[in-house]
Amino acid sequence: MPHDHHDHLSPSGHPYRPDDDHPLTYWQQMEIAVRELLIEKGVTTAQEINAQIDAMDARTPSNGAAVVARAWTDPVFRSDLLTDASAATRAMGFDIGPMKLIALENTPDTHNIVVCTLCSCYPRNLLGLPPDWYKSRAYRSRTVKEPRKVLAEFGVTLPPATTVRVHDSTADMRYVVIPTRPAGTEGWRADELSKLVTRDSMIGTGLAKTPGAL
Amino acid sequence: MSNPQYMRVRHDMPPGHVRTPSYLRGKVGWIERTLGPFANPEELAYGRNGPALPLMRMRFTMSEVWGPDADPPDDTIDAEIYSHWLEPVEPPHAT
């Protein structure tokens, strides 16, 4: 009789995922009702809604990686980005909609990490949808209280002399971290450098990859 | 940093839609930069359009927010706080 951990796995070797058969929650019903009313009243159309979903799905962390790599290689762009990250990313050709963005630059003395304690605000108009853990209660509550422990769990241990700055996205602004450019990348082109920039390094829970990690 | 402007977050617990995290209420920080003006989300949430307000990026030390045992005390938390939640205070004495 099979009775080991394998009987929790599908033939493909992945855990079974139960069917999503539960009734709609209150807020799911509310979303459907409001969406259908907006369509019925001609405020928007199903095509426009789907186009927006497609546009959001097309946004990925590679957009942010291109911005970071350019900041590493183009001092004028870096300065523009730190002054007004919305204007600088738009000028680079990214459609970030109405997003108001601030870029936070890591230095040897300072490490920045972004969280939204109130909900799950994230620079999704640049980086796409946030990872699930970013929306978890554990990440949201612990990052403002014990950021170095959270960072250590992500594999990032900072020297005591480095100041950690936590940024809680509580209102209108969204934040993207410019990680420190890794050593050993002198002379690299921006398109090569962008391969070192991870999603987590732009949230602040990671560092950029080193050349050896590619 | 030259002469940071210190402010205290109001220690109120009003009902309704509020964007001021409760863990920062009553805490003293300094203005990192001024943003806005932006419409007040406490009005927008109920379909009203009040006057736009300055939005402050406030910076707090870990020790101010979580007490002297915060480790390490000089790490910081930045948050955006609407100006009507802030009241001026004297700069804290250096310790």
* Rounded average pLDDT over A184-206: 97
Q: Do residues A51 and A109 both lie within one domain?
A: no
pTM of the model: 0.90
The answer on A33 and A124 residing in a single domain is: no
Find the closest chain B residue to A111 by CA distance: B75
Q: Is the pLDDT of residue B31 over 60?
A: yes
A147 near B CB under 8 A: yes
CB-based contact (8 Å) between B86 and chain A? no
Tell me, yes or no, whether A101 and A112 share the same domain.
yes
Q: Which residue has the tokens 């943003």?
A: B35
Residues A32 and A77 in one domain: no
Task: Tell me whether residues A148 and B71 touch, CB distance under 8 A.
Answer: yes
Q: In the prediction, which pLDDT does A1 show?
A: 45
**Average pLDDT over every residue of A88-117:** 97
Pair A167, A126 in one domain:
yes
Q: Point out the least confidently predicted range of A27-36, A128-137, A199-208, B69-78.
A: B69-78
* A65 or A2: which leads in pLDDT: A65
CB-based contact (8 Å) between A84 and chain B? no
The three-state (H, E, C) secondary structure of A131-184, written as one string: CHHHHCHHHHHHHCCCHHHHHHHCCCCCCCCCEEEEEECCCCEEEEEECCCCCC
Domains of chain B in sequence order = 6-88 (2.30.30.50)
Is A106 found in the same domain as A40? no
pLDDT in tens, A165-181: 999 999 999 999 999 99
Rounded CA-CA distance A195/B47 in Å is: 45
* pLDDT reported for residue B92: 76
Taking contacts as CB-CB distances below 8 angstroms, the residues of chain A near B1 are none
Share of chain A above pLDDT 90, in %: 87
Would you call A61 an interface residue with chain B, using a CB distance cutoff of 8 Å? no
- Closest CB to B21 among A100, A117, A163: A117
Q: What is the CATH number of the domain that holds A162?
A: 3.90.330.10
pLDDT, average across residues B23-40: 95
Rounded to whole angstroms, the Cα distance separating B65 from A145 reads 9
Query: Taking Cα atoms as reference points, which of B12, B20, B60, B56 lies closest to residue B38?
Result: B56
Asked if A169's CB is within 8 angstroms of B75's CB, the reply is no
Distance of CA A130 to the CA centre of its chain: 5
The verdict on A97 and A36 lying in the same domain is: no
Burial of A145 (0-12, 13-18, 19+ CB in 10 A): middle
**Summary mean pLDDT of chain A:** 94
Range with the poorest average pLDDT among A18-32, A75-89, A95-109, B21-35: A18-32
What residue in B sits closest to A117 (Cα-Cα)? B21
**CB atoms < 10 A from the CB of B28, how many?**
19
Look at chain A and report how many structural domains it folds into. 2
- Both A81 and A173 in one domain: the answer is yes
Instruction: Please indicate whether, in this complex, the C-beta atoms of B55 and A167 are within 8 angstroms of each other.
Output: no
* A78 & A174 share domain: yes
Q: Which residues form the domain of A176?
A: 59-213
Residue A2: pLDDT above 50? Answer: no
Q: What is the pLDDT of residues B46-89, one digit of tens each?
A: 999 888 999 999 999 999 999 988 878 899 999 999 999 999 99
- The average pLDDT across B6-31 equals 95
A51/A95 same-domain check: no
pLDDT, tens only, A14-43 = 888 888 888 999 999 999 999 999 999 999
A8 within a domain of the structure (yes/no) = no
Q: Do residue A72 and residue A174 come from a single domain?
A: yes
**pLDDT on residue A14:** 81
Identify whether A206 is part of a domain.
yes
Using an 8 Å CB-CB cutoff, list chain B residues near A100: 35
Looking at chain B, the whole-number percentage of residues with pLDDT higher than 70 is 95
Say if residue A136 is in the same domain as residue A103.
Answer: yes
| pLDDT (mean) for A88-111 | 97
Q: CB–CB of A166 and B38 under 8 A?
A: no
Question: Which residue of B lies nearest to A173 if distances are taken between CA atoms?
Answer: B80
Rounded Cα distance, B19 and B29, in Å: 17
